[in-house]
Amino acid sequence: MPKLFIDTHSEKVTLAVVKGDKIIKKQGVSNRSHSEIVAPLLNELLRETNMEFADFDEIAVVNGPGSFTGVRIGVTIAKTIAYSLSIPIKVLSSLEMYGESATEYFDLVTVEDSKGVYSAHKKENRYEEFIYQRKGEFEEYVSKNGFTVLKKHEINLKKIFEYLADRDECNPHVVNPTYVKEIDALK
């Protein structure tokens, strides 16, 4: 039951193959363009695991919020593989990914850009209230509500796949990226 994991929401790209309890992970940092790093990393991962895309039983993709180009590339690759080979695809946000990987207590999990913070409130193992706020607004929101904010952004693939086990697969056509901030034209 091999699974493919794709996360390109930030400058740090994480790709992994999960076979039972064994995890083979590849990471790279893209300071310029994800398009220059994702395909070579993916090819290297397939070579190392002696696998082809058709061998996967499931694809998990992080759809953001995150970098505009990075999220688009990861989601597009996952959708293309899933659709063309009829492989089930499951989607999680970067907020869920960090929240499920956490080892400490928190109320809010965040992804930041230079001007603001995208956050989700975790209540009873569900993520709610996905919102984007300017940094000052966010700090006031946290203070006013006494929230504990998750500080560590780690990835624990075992925990992530346990979290995804109960999630239904998606139609690849409805999988879309989520960006950190609103597009200026929409404001």
Taking the CA atoms of the chain, what radius of gyration do you get in angstroms?
17
Provide the domain limits for residue 46: 3-186
Dist. CA 100–CA 94, nearest whole Å: 10
* Cα maximum dimension of the chain: 52
8 A C-beta contact, residue 5 and residue 14: yes
> Please, what's the b/e burial string for 38-56 (b: 16 or more CB within 10 A of its CB; e: otherwise)?
beebbeebbeebebebeeb
Q: Which helix (H) or strand (E) holds 3?
A: strand 3-7
Lowest mean pLDDT segment, chosen from 52-61, 107-116, 134-143? 107-116
Dist. CA 101–CA 91, nearest whole Å: 15
8 A C-beta contact, residue 23 and residue 81: no
For residue 105, what pLDDT is reported? Answer: 94
- What CATH number is attached to the domain comprising 140? 3.30.420.40
For residue 31, what pLDDT is reported? Answer: 73
Residue 185 above 50 pLDDT?
Answer: no
Residue 110 above 60 pLDDT?
Answer: yes
Number of domains in the chain: 1
| pLDDT per position as a tens digit, 30-51 | 776 888 899 999 999 999 999 9
The 3-class SS string of 12-74 reads EEEEEEEECCEEEEEEEECCCCHHHHHHHHHHHHHHHHCCCHHHCCEEEEECCCECHHHHHHH
- Which pLDDT band holds residue 135 (cuts at 50, 70, 90)? very high
For residue 181, what pLDDT is reported? Answer: 55
Lowest mean pLDDT segment, chosen from 32-36, 62-66, 90-94, 152-156? 32-36
- Bond before 172 cis per omega within 30 degrees: no
